[in-house]
Amino acid sequence: MSGLPVGPAASHAFGAPARTLRTIVRGEGAALWDAAGRRFVDLGATHGVGNLGASHPEVVAAIRRQAGELLYLGTGFDVPVRREFLARLTALLPPSLDRVFLSNSGTEAVEAAIKFARAATGRPKVVAALRGFHGRTLGALSATARKEFRDGFEPLVPGFVHVPFNDPAALRAAVDESTALVLLEPVQGEGGVHPATRDFLEAARARTLETGSLLGFDEVQTGLGRTGRLFAFERWGIVPDLLTLAKSLAGGVPIGATVATEAVEARFRGSHHSTFGGAPLACAAGVAALEVTVRERLAERAERLGRAALDRLAHLPTERVREVRGVGLMIGIELRERAAPYLARLEERGFLAIPAGPAVIRLLPPLVIGEDDLAAGLEAVERVLGDG
Ligand SMILES: Cc1ncc(COP(=O)(O)O)c(C=O)c1O
């Protein structure tokens, strides 16, 4: 016995939700177990962190090995595992995206992208999309237009403007010679699972080239196979100048990556750094995660399972469901009413899905989810939405 007081973990967590949190003590693949031994199927994967599921054995082995060798060492040293991670990551990207800044989270990856774009172009303006989500630090939050995330924190960073998502004309009008960066999610995740249209992304690419601005894709949620491609932008064949990754990049260990072109790095004037960014532990986990993602063809798996899931969900009752949309294993079921009661009913049945805004049930299962668990999850969705 440690002698420490014992109580619900959430009781000391700043900002913990008022409701009692379910205690989860163990996970394997898409399965999570509570303290009483009840099994749940994870259909949310911690907003996309768990592409490889909980505690993937190869990631765990890599962490164990690396922890015994070298747990931390900053970027003032050359560390082989960091070199290997960066080489493996860039080998998966188009050749122009070959400079990587490592940090510890999605919001840090976005902060770096904003700073790199401003410092490389010498311009102030950042154009992002309404309904988008880019993180909660002040720069990333400034790129996030949604009131519920901004309230209480203003004034935010000046120079940010927002245009309606999938409105090419509005985007073209907003981007000018004072624009440093156009920052977009190829599929808006927190905003309700809205894939971009080809027109919109093509307009963003063309207008940024015309005006000498940079195009940044925030793939913190969509990256690493989630949308049926290793990187969502591959679906449209539009290559950005800056790319942000995080969540599943290191198989569940905190990491963020801001990938840039050589041209962005060459024009960058200034200083940016992160003490823990590029830590050997995260890099070792990252090497293992990339290895599994590629070897197991998880992007293709997401594409196949996602298509079948969308076909099946097309038959949901329309009086309750406004629209079902998604790409790969990133699926949003928009209701005509609040999603929370249905999420609670799914949880009662043993399926843990997540919301995306008030009316959307979001399914982001681990890409390794068993087909039987996914089918059972979809059946549970049909049942709870079909109940009178
Ligand atoms: C597209 C996108 N960008 C940035 C973030 C922020 O990432 P983090 O919570 O790791 O800071 C998120 C998190 O949901 C996200 O979905």
By alpha-carbon position, which residue is closest to atom 3 of ligand 1? 134
Q: So what's the pLDDT on residue 25? A: 96
Of 295, 327, 345, the residue at which a domain comes to its end is: 295
Residue 47 above 60 pLDDT? yes
Rounded to whole angstroms, the Cα distance separating 282 from 254 reads: 7
Q: pLDDT (tens digit, 9 = 90+) per residue, 181-236? A: 999 999 999 999 999 999 999 999 999 999 999 999 999 999 999 999 999 999 99
Same domain, 132 and 237: yes
Q: How confident is the model at residue 321 (pLDDT cuts 50, 70, 90)?
A: very high
Same domain, 291 and 308: no
Which residues, including other chains, have CB under 8 Å from residue 209's CB and lie 6 or more apart? none
Q: pLDDT (tens digit, 9 = 90+) per residue, 134-177? A: 999 999 999 999 999 999 999 999 999 999 999 999 999 999 99
- For the CA atoms of 242, 243, 244, 245, what is the dihedral angle to 10 degrees? -150
Same domain, 91 and 136: yes
CA 139 – ligand 1 centroid, Å: 13
Count up the domains in the chain and report the number.
2
Task: Return the closest-CA partner of residue 272 out of 156, 138, 118, 125.
Answer: 118
Rounded to whole angstroms, the Cα distance separating 217 from 107 reads: 13
Question: What CATH number should be reported for the domain holding residue 145?
Answer: 3.40.640.10
Same domain, 302 and 270: no
Q: Which domain, by its residues, includes 376?
A: 9-55+297-386
Question: What CATH number should be reported for the domain holding residue 323?
Answer: 3.90.1150.10
Average pLDDT over residues 232-259: 98
Q: Are the CB atoms for 25 and 33 separated by under 8 Å?
A: yes
Q: So what's the pLDDT on residue 1? A: 45
Average pLDDT over residues 362-372: 98
Average pLDDT value for the chain: 96
Of 16-25, 28-37, 92-101, which gets the smallest average pLDDT? 16-25
- Return the number of other C-beta atoms located less than 10 Å from residue 335's C-beta: 18
Average pLDDT over residues 45-73: 97
Same domain, 36 and 98: no
Q: pLDDT (tens digit, 9 = 90+) per residue, 2-12? A: 555 555 555 78
Q: How confident is the model at residue 13 (pLDDT cuts 50, 70, 90)?
A: confident
Which mutation among 47, 107, 138 tests ligand 1's pocket best, with the greatest number of atoms within 8 A of CB? 107
Count CA atoms within 13 Å of residue 387 on its CB side.
Answer: 9
Atom of ligand 1 nearest to the CA of 188: 1
CA 51 – ligand 1 centroid, Å: 15
Residue 18 above 90 pLDDT? no
Same domain, 322 and 241: no
Same domain, 22 and 69: no
